[in-house]
Structure 1
Amino acid sequence: MTTETENNTTSLTLAAVERFNEAFNRHDVNAVMNAMTEDCIFENTNPQPDGTRLVGADDVRAYWKKFFTSNPDAVFETEEAFVSGDRCVVRWIYRKTKEGKPWHLRGVDIFKVRNGKVSEKLAYVKG
């Protein structure tokens, strides 16, 4: 049986992830970082096979600044989101222009939310 507290936590988790994703698609580094905790963890998908693990707001902020500069038309489209408590899984399509042509990649992010902010974002891709 789901309790009101569990429903509230799930709602807050989804709101935090949506706030993060909206800021990301605006390429707003400050808003992205305001949506993350100071001790946040971000695991990128590169280099394969394990990606890179960044810990702390300073390192994550530096990554996003570089990412947005290098990928000025990048957007993530949510295909589906699953939320349970403080965890959220988002299936997405990442779109951008690569070598002058439309390009996309599909993947999954696993989020953990604490106190209304993203504390972990672990990214995985197909292929």
Structure 2
Amino acid sequence: MTESPRTIHEVIDRYNAAFRLHDPTLLEDLIAEECVIEDTGPAPDGARHEGGPACLARWSELAGNQALNFSTEPADIAGDLAVAPWVLRWGQGKNDWVRGVNLIRIRDGRIVEARGYVKA
């Protein structure tokens, strides 16, 4: 029996859980081989990661980092694109946080593209 592809909502829920729970293993079968990530930093252009292994490594590094706290907000879905807002905290200080959004394109139950942006 062939497993049906995950819905975009299922992919986003599992992606967010990986960061919230600091469990990079939740990302392992969510990322397509042709995935491309455009990261939020370093400014102004960010970093680009190409290919499934590179994208998995980058996100696993972030998701596994216990010093970071990601809070997500409900994503808006338009076709194959999820607009997924979040807040990232790295400390208890007044300025130890940033608000951002990821634009995540999903095809056949896997992430093929992600672009991250932050409010400055």
Quick check: TM above 0.5?
yes
- Structure ranking higher in helix proportion: 1
In structure 1, how many angstroms separate the alpha carbons of the residues matched to 2:70 and 2:61? Answer: 17
In structure 2, how many angstroms separate the alpha carbons of the residues matched to 1:65 and 1:51? Answer: 18
In structure 1, how many angstroms separate the alpha carbons of the residues matched to 2:86 and 2:61? Answer: 21
- Give the alignment partner of residue 111 of structure 1, picking from 79, 87, 104: 104
- Give the alignment partner of residue 29 of structure 1, picking from 19, 24, 28: 24
Change in CA separation of 1:126 and 1:33 when aligned onto 2, cut-off 3 Å: same
Among all aligned residue pairs of Structure 1 and Structure 2, give the percentage whose two residues are the same amino acid: 32
CA deviation string 1:33-58 (max 9, x = no partner): 32211221111111111101101122
Change in CA separation of 1:119 and 1:47 when aligned onto 2, cut-off 3 Å: same
- Structure ranking higher in strand proportion: 1
More deviation, 26-35/79-88: 26-35
Structure showing greater radius of gyration is: 1
Question: 1:125, CA displacement in angstroms?
Answer: 0.3
Aligned length: 115
In structure 1, how many angstroms separate the alpha carbons of the residues matched to 2:63 and 2:15? Answer: 14
Q: How does 1:96-107 map to 2 (within 5 A)?
A: 96-97=90-91, 101=93, 103-107=96-100
TM-score by length of 1: 0.77
- Give the alignment partner of residue 95 of structure 1, picking from 89, 93, 111: 89
Contact 1:54 1:60 in 2 (8 A): yes
1:83 lines up with 2:77 in the alignment: yes
Change in CA separation of 1:66 and 1:92 when aligned onto 2, cut-off 3 Å: closer
- Unpaired runs of 5+ in structure 1? 1-10
**3-state SS of the aligned residue for 1:120?**
strand
Change in CA separation of 1:84 and 1:125 when aligned onto 2, cut-off 3 Å: same
Contact 2:74 2:85 in 1 (8 A): yes
CA deviation string 1:78-101 (max 9, x = no partner): 23421111111011111222xx74
After superposition, the CA RMSD in angstroms is 2.3
1:126 lines up with 2:109 in the alignment: no
- Unpaired runs of 5+ in structure 2? 1-5
Amino acid in the other structure paired with 1:89: V
TM-score by length of 2: 0.81
